Chains A and B, each alone.
Chain A
Amino acid sequence: MAQSLSVAFAVLSLARLSAEVVVSDERFDRGVVEIEFQLTPEKLERGAHGGWDFFDGETKQLWIGTGWGGDAGRWGIWTPAGNRRDFREPVAVGKSVHLRARIEFGTAVAGDELVTLSLVEGETEREVARLEKARITAINQARSFVRSGGGYEFGGLELSAAKESISAVALFQDRVQPMFAEKCLACHGDDEAKIKGGLDMRTRAGLLAGGESGLPTLVPGKPEESLLYLAATWQDPEFEMPPKVNDRLSEAQLADLRNWIEAGAPWVEKKILPTPDFEGKFGQWSEPDSVGKVRVITSRAQSESWANRGYEPGTLWAYQVPVSQKPPSNQHPIDGFIEARLKEAKIEPAPRARPTELVRRLTYSLTGLPPTAKQLQAESGTLMEELLESPHYGERMAQHWLDVTRYADSNGFSRDEVRPDAHQYRSYVIESFNRDKPYDQFVREQIAGDELGIAGQEALAFLWMGPWEITNMTSAAVARQMWLDDVVNSIGVTFLGHELRCAKCHDHKFDPIPTRDYYAMQAVFGATKHHVRGGQFKIQPQSPQTVSILKGGALESPTEIVSPGFLSAVAISNQSPVPSGSRGRRAALANWIASPENPFTARVIVNRVWQMHFGRGLVATPNNFGVNGMTPSHPELLDWLAVWFVEEGWSLKELHRLILTSETYQRSTQHPQPSRLKERDPENQRLAVFSPRRLTAEEIRDSMLIATGELNRRVGGPGFRAEINWEVAFQPRLAMGKLVPPWEPEPTRAERNRRSLYANRIRNLGHPLMEVFNRPNSGLSCEKRDETTVVTQAFTLFHSEFSNQRSLALADRVVRLSGTQDVSTLVEATFQTVLGRAPDLSEAQDAEQLVQERLVHHRSHPPEPVALPTEVQMTNVVEKTGEEKITTFRLNALRNYERDLQPWQVGPETRALAELALVLFNTSEFLHVY
């Protein structure tokens, strides 16, 4: 096979391009474009892999690759349907190539198949994010392109033969002026007192006058002589504008700027749309303007230009009520939607996973625990029902919910007081999931269970789950404001998939959320008191306090008083006004969120559940459904699921049933044509295969305890003090200037060996095993666990006392149950216990060799008993003297400590076998779900 050769254009020189565009159908989101162009590659790059091609919406470069599967020397362009068109043209630096491409936009479009992004080897994560963003931009531009009749930039090709040309004045009004407002005026006009570099860009006269540099800033007709243009191109390091790399103008914007200057830089007064008649029109969109953008009617914004801001309609997908389309085939509805997308890309789905793989996948999916020997033999439908009825189902669901809501058993910050009641919230969440409480009710209870008379403080604890910083150095007003900020943002992130905090100081930079709405949401809590005493919290009604918009988010600058309200861009019919008295405000908010008409609520939770099973949501940013979040990979499926979920009575168990019975869920992780799959869908967004995942930190610990037979399966109730590295337990730390007593684990084994979910979470105290395996800290809402691989994981899993004690316990269990000293039998039993399978011949041989060799060592090296410490000394610096002082703490819980099995308590066979167990606990096979 020919060596694959990659070729990419570093830059497509616009000057050397000509293009012809035919738009055969101008209907929204549908069209056919034929482009014919001449281009000259400036640079060829040889890559390690086959070619890549993508349209980079940010740099406006169309990358065209070649050389897949040995087809060196052929050109390709991805069409919207995912078909690659090949062009047999020679490639050489400096040689022109004539290309003609036909690009079709699919029917239901979303245009998102216009581009296929491939990650170039060596791209950093930041670049991946940038490309994802570029993809969204590209989708939106594709839409604009079609809608505007083709007169818009596409793929870096400035289409000179566009059907509809845009006049210079319209260009200024619709693109250049809004671009100035977005990118320049913050420093060059918005605040007269703070104009930078002496350049005022509010008027044409200001631009003509220029700034302190003395260089001509705007020379009508001559962009190359205008500093305005030159600075925007970032060619001269002295003048790089806008200064932030992420604010840089796109190629298209630069082209607009250039064209506008070339056309003589005509200026018209700022185009302000007539102020909309707000009443009853919240959430409505205007007709698209000449560049396809829509205005959204919201409550009154702080800035007029914000109110007139246009949005690409595609970016507001989540603001539209989901509409259920008929699944494309008679299959399982999920498979219908998924396979339609696979067909488009000409990717075959992978076959089903093996039955044992499926069982393991199911038990981890639904309970976070490995299968028992009996479960490994079960039929998957029966097993699924059994697991859904298991109390461990609620624990697995709760784990994710507590990640999102930032559960912890202490306040954090200065005092880090223990929250004695926090566990009631955890138990409430577990029980709610186990009883399959309808999700809309679950929402209502956590926001307004008291007002609606359906739940008590245990559910309302959601409202104080975040970290809490309060000392006598913080004034009461500041403390209250911190709570209001926290609770509103938390509700936004958890239920609505929106960071509302972004609207605290100014109207939301990306989403149609004016600052007024942010404070209106706070006003909902104007009649709620958040009573705190130490670590105990209570949500109580209080006589209503007014809430004002705070200018710049500063408590010192209250402006207008606002009435309670919600997000005005989301209109819900029959929405009754929020009560102005002390009762019912939160109930109104809860009902608004839990309404089937709220476009976010069902989609957000359906997406979270999807992510639990597939590792990636249909929307890859579960906490961000706004303009800057990811667009759904399967928008029709997401909507179908959201509508179906509500119709099924918001039942999460039904949703699991539906997902888990799909073929999509049951596919193998392996594809029959892996290289083809890697080319066409490297991120597995189309779900031709099941993506393997690493166990979470909690699953690793729980699974080890299951293997040793030590797990205490008690569900719910107060948590336990977990075993952690002694160095961390005895690490001196302060709370309000005083040493915190050392951490002592539970004295009894049974308590220590409960599921990790119940391990007390003290915000200021680490839990190394949990942290190195990416358990999030409980300061920020975590939408998705990371899966990084770092060397500290090897340290922890290979050397920690916990791992080594589990290994010994496992070896002891195997020796006892096997009733033999035959190494080969013991090795096989160890494999069975840890990995659920027997070793193959060579594995058995290698493992037996290790055990035999270690046995020789252990026979001649009996270990000496090591006692537990009875006290610990900690050093503090005394505030009054500045001198170090040693304080001795007696370790009371350790006095009657029921120790784990220790090496000196077992024979050499067990110690040798424990070394094998440790190796097996460290295998990728144990640590991953396939």
Chain B
Amino acid sequence: MSTSRREFLYGLNASLGAAAFSSLDAASNPLVAKAGHHSASAKSCIFLYLEGGPSHLDTFDPKPKLTEIDGQQFKNSDKLTSGMARGDRRYVGSPFSFRQVGKSGLWMSEPFQHLATVADELCIYRGCQGESVNHPTANLHMNTGNRFGGDPAIGAWAGYGLGSVNQNLPGFVVLPGAYYPQAGAANWSNGYLPAHFQGTPLRSSGAPILDLNPPLGASRESERKKLDLLAKLEAAHQDRHPEHEALAARMHSYELMYRMQVEVPGVLDIEGETEQIKSLYGIDETATQQFGRSCLLARRLVEKGVRFVQAYSVGWDSHDDLETAHGARIRAVDKPIAGLIQDLKQRDLLDETLIVICGEFGRSPDNSVKRGRVGRDHNPKAMSIVLAGGGVPAGTYVGATDEIGQSAVEEVHPIRDFHVTLLHLLGLNDNKLTYFHGGRFKQLSQVGGEVITGLVG
């Protein structure tokens, strides 16, 4: 009984069009768009997740000192943090050269060619610190605030706090890379929030959503006939069980399904985009085709009112062969990200769209000696998070790491403060965005945190 009243349940975090509300109270739809706690600088967020641990030292945080001491022996006294910090270890200078770009003169490594052209839109935050040296726990920490999983992802919290502008699309969409990130779907979980707030992964081939369409050979007409019979049987059953209030939502979910079969593929069909736009995102080149498509889809989804889009680029775990491996990864995302920023800007959407680019941790200034190979291990104590749009100060740095980039030393904040800041930019106050579960009010930051003021324009 209680469930039915609390949860007029719609959605795949998506849900009903206006007409369907006629028989239901709009106020009880958890997905209806809501005002935040304060005026927001960003209406939506595109979170570009570079999974594997992108190296800050080889992208946005040059360390001349490291080049100077390249090859010298490294010592680490901290035995608890990482089992990697053992054995014969040497400092590793970056294989890439760096130069200053844009009017703002931000530093970027040489493989970034396209991003350099929009450098003045970027805010590079170098003070964030995580806690976990392993990919799955670090991914979960960055995405959900809880290293061990089970908690809602940022996108789920955003949906919970702000609802959804478009009732026919999910409010939180995930565009996975070639493979799922470590820790899998828990990275976009609704956790203890109601299931509507779960991130919906859209597949790049085949049906974008599992079981969106009937099996081969079934026509839309046969689907309609079956749904009509189901509706009749349901109506009779509801008459027999007026006490069972949850039933109304069930039939509505079938009607929504019928509509989504048309709506979802429509958003994902990029054939209508001009060749110029496709080229801007690098969709016409093999190396950038996959992530370019994700970035373009992210823009299309945001335009349609999706609140939170997360797109993954995988494969950033370069323990060895840093130059080749990171070089290839950078080239795979460079043009797509720059294209996204330019495209949003030319559509006047950049100001209201917050772009976040980061991974689960940065990388170490040192490496164990492996037959002369150059690489880096995991390093949660330092990383670079790149932000753009959505009211963040453009063309600036916030925070800094030490002279070898081993640890953040200025504007140092734990991940939870970064989360609090993201919510803040979206108009939400972490301390007010709470959910009662397991005997206490829970929040994204777990224990409360503070806004990183430098990131708020």
Contacts and interface: CB of A to CB of B under 8 A. Distances in A.
Interface of A: 48, 119, 121-126, 128-130, 132-133, 243-246, 412-414, 467, 469, 471-475, 477-478, 499, 509-510, 555-556, 616, 621, 623-624, 626, 628-629, 669-671, 674, 682-684, 689, 691-692, 694, 725, 727-728, 731-734, 737, 739, 764-766, 768, 774, 777, 779-780, 786-796, 798-801, 804, 840, 842-843, 846-847, 850, 853-854, 857, 861, 863, 866, 874-884, 903, 915-916, 918-920, 922-925, 928, 930
Interface string B52-93: 000000000000000000000000000111111000000000
A473 B25 contact: no
Contacts of B159: none
Interface of B: 1-3, 5-7, 9-15, 25, 27-28, 30, 79-84, 133-137, 148-150, 177-180, 182-186, 189, 194-196, 203, 206-207, 209-217, 222, 225-226, 229-230, 232-234, 236-238, 241-244, 246-247, 249-250, 253-254, 256-257, 260, 290, 314-315, 317-321, 324-329, 332, 377-378, 429, 431-432, 434-441, 448
5 contacts: A499-B439, A795-B209, A880-B324, A903-B217, A920-B233
A774 B319 contact: no
A414 B180 CA distance: 12
Interface of chain B, main secondary structure: loop
Nearest to B215: A804
B326 to A, nearest CB: 6
Given A791-B12, A794-B254, A881 B321 contact: yes
Contacts of B178: 732, 875-877, 884
A623 B237 CA distance: 35
B250 A555 contact: no
- Which of B211, B229, B318, B326 has the most CB atoms of chain A within a 10 A radius of its CB? B211
B134 A473 contact: yes
A674 B241 CA distance: 11
Contacts of B149: 467, 777, 779-780
A265 B448 CA distance: 31
A739 B315 CA distance: 12
A682 B324 CA distance: 65
B83 A924 contact: no
Q: Of residues A243, A621, A768, which shows the largest number of chain B Cβ atoms within 10 Å of its Cβ? A: A243
A798 B9 contact: no
B3 A882 contact: no
B253 A725 contact: no
B182 A734 contact: yes
A128 B213 CA distance: 36
Contacts of B233: 843, 846, 919-920, 923, 925
A796 B83 contact: no
Given A725-B211, A877-B315, A879-B315, A414 B194 contact: no
B243 A850 contact: no
Contacts of A774: 195
A245 B184 CA distance: 33
A669 B243 contact: yes
A682 B5 contact: yes
B210 A882 contact: no
Nearest to B79: A475
B234 to A, nearest CB: 6
Contacts of A930: 241, 244
Which interface residue of B148, B210, B244, B319 has the most chain A CB atoms within 10 A? B210
A924 B247 contact: yes
Given A840-B236, A882-B325, 13 more contacts: A621-B439, A669-B241, A788-B195, A791-B14, A791-B15, A799-B212, A843-B232, A850-B226, A854-B222, A863-B217, A879-B320, A881-B328, A882-B328
Contact of A779 (B186, B434, B448): B186
B80 A683 contact: no
Nearest to A246: B441
Contact of A128 (B6, B195, B327): B6
A924 B148 CA distance: 36
A913 B340 CA distance: 51
B241 A875 contact: no
A882 B1 contact: no
Contacts of A795: 12, 209-212, 257
Contact of A790 (B9, B80, B207, B377): B9
Contacts of B230: 919, 922-923
Contact of A791 (B7, B10, B377, B439): B10
A469 B83 CA distance: 13
B150 A791 contact: no
A776 to B, nearest CB: 9
A246 B434 contact: yes
Contacts of B27: 121-122
A628 B150 contact: no
A901 to B, nearest CB: 13
A478 B25 CA distance: 51
Contact of A923 (B9, B217, B234, B377): B234
B213 A787 contact: no
B80 A880 contact: no
A779 to B, nearest CB: 5
A460 B421 CA distance: 44
Contact of A727 (B1, B210, B229, B238): B210
A244 B439 contact: no
A727 B243 contact: no
A789 B179 contact: no
Given A244-B431, A923-B237, A794 B25 contact: no
A125 B9 CA distance: 11
B182 A414 contact: yes
B314 A786 contact: no
Contact of B215 (A412, A764, A779, A799): A799
Given A469-B136, A799-B215, A126 B186 contact: no
Contact of B9 (A624, A727, A788, A799): A788
Given A129-B436, A628-B440, A801 B321 contact: no
B179 A875 contact: yes
Contacts of A794: 253-254, 256-257
Contacts of B15: 791
B3 to A, nearest CB: 5
Task: Identify which of A509, A791, A874, A922 gathers the most chain B CB atoms within 10 Å of its CB.
Answer: A791
Contact of B216 (A624, A739, A866, A928): A866
A498 B417 CA distance: 29
Contacts of A925: 233, 237
B210 A847 contact: no
Contacts of A556: 80
Given A125-B7, A734-B179, A925-B237, A789 B210 contact: no
Given A555-B80, A789-B246, A796-B210, A692 B439 contact: no
A733 B184 contact: yes
Nearest to A783: B438
A469 B317 contact: no
Given A130-B436, A475-B80, A923-B234, A789 B324 contact: no
Given A121-B28, A123-B6, A854-B225, A691 B210 contact: no
A766 B184 CA distance: 9
Contacts of B207: 727
